[in-house]
Amino acid sequence: MVMAKNKRNCWGDGMDKHIEINKVSKAYPLGQNNGKKMHVLDELSLKIKKGEFVSILGPNGCGKSTLIRTIAGLDEPDSGKVTIFGSHPAEVQIGYVPQHVSKSLYPWFDSRKNIELAWPPGFEGEAKSQTSKLLSKFGIENYSNYYPYQLSGGFKQLIAIARATARSKVFIFDESLNGLDYHNKTVVENGILKLRDGENTVIMVSHDIDSAVLLSDKVIVLSNKPARIQAKIPVALPNERTNDLRYCPEFTLITKKVSEILAELG
């Protein structure tokens, strides 16, 4: 699923300028009818400002994907509440890119058509013109007639991201850089960096510390399951980001701090 199917566009024009996760808990049954549960999220609370780019890291299996599915409105919390700019997630247009992006692209459609699917029937003219702009924005206009099987992993990600960002200002990326080689990861990073404009609000799950620091205004580290917030690390780097920032001392200090916190969690 790339674009969450929601009731209306709500991009944060109201008074509330935060995504707020307030004491959210979530558990799943273990086995059938034995009453046992696996507790994944434990009264987790977090505020994300409109226009902020936040990465979420944590140990394997700690509940990162459960958290973002709850933020996206794909799962309901057992207790607590999620609001996006004051509204329930189901009332907000959210661009969502899942982990296994290849399964979210239609193999019988080319890149252009896959992006145009972000618009509902009746908006064909807008879909075509806006898709052309998105292809240009993400530097993939030369691949507009390519089918998914003809694209590298990085370019598949960019098609999925272009579609997710077509009609929204709130984006959730679930490990969009996972499994990519160095070149493809750089291609996708450069595409995601184009979303850092102060208007878009981005939540990204990642296992890659360097990428999380490069892309984000803040890095959130979750504890082991059941997950709570272990640490909030501000990324005090210039708003204009390039890969060259990886070589500056400030970048190294932040990545070292994140690495040490994750190492303590085991």
Q: What's the pLDDT tens digit per position in 95-131? A: 988 877 777 899 999 999 999 999 988 888 899 999 9
Q: What is the pLDDT of residue 214?
A: 95
Average pLDDT over residues 210-220: 95
The residue type found at 82 is: V
The C-alpha atoms of residue 93 and residue 83 are separated, in whole angstroms, by 13
Q: What is the pLDDT of residue 230?
A: 95
Please give the Cα distance from 257 to 2 (Å, whole number). Answer: 33
Residue pLDDT, tens place only, 74-90: 899 999 999 999 899 98
Residues 6+ apart with CB under 8 A from 256: none
Average pLDDT, the chain: 88
| Confidence bin at 132 (pLDDT 50/70/90) | very high
In a domain, 114, yes or no: yes
pLDDT above 70: residue 191: yes
31 assigned to some structural domain: yes
Per-residue confidence at 181, pLDDT binned at 50, 70, 90? confident
Band of the pLDDT at 50, cuts 50, 70, 90? Answer: very high
Q: Residue 63: what residue type?
A: G
**Mean pLDDT, rounded, for 19-31:** 90
Q: Does the pLDDT of residue 5 top 70, yes or no?
A: no
214 assigned to some structural domain: yes
Contact 150, 142 (CB under 8 A): no
- Residue 40 inside a domain? The answer is yes
| Residues above pLDDT 70, as percent of the chain | 93
- Domain assignment present for residue 3? The answer is no
Number of alpha carbons in the 13 Å side-chain half-sphere of residue 70: 26
Per-residue confidence band for 15, with pLDDT thresholds at 50, 70 and 90 = low
The CATH number of residue 193's host domain is: 3.40.50.300
Distance of CA 186 to the CA centre of its chain: 17
Range of the domain at 130: 18-265
Domains of the chain: total: 1
User: Is residue 4 a part of any domain in this protein?
Assistant: no
In a domain, 5, yes or no: no
| Confidence tier at 6 by pLDDT (50, 70, 90) | very low
Contact 86, 14 (CB under 8 A): yes
- Euclidean distance between CA atoms 221 and 57, whole angstroms: 5
Closest by CA to 110, choosing from 161, 164, 147, 135, is 147
Is the residue at 81 inside a domain?
Answer: yes
Beta strand pairing status for 53-57 and 218-222? parallel
Q: Which has the minimum average pLDDT: 1-5, 148-152, 184-188?
A: 1-5
Range from 67-76, 91-100, 152-161, 257-266 carrying the lowest mean pLDDT: 91-100
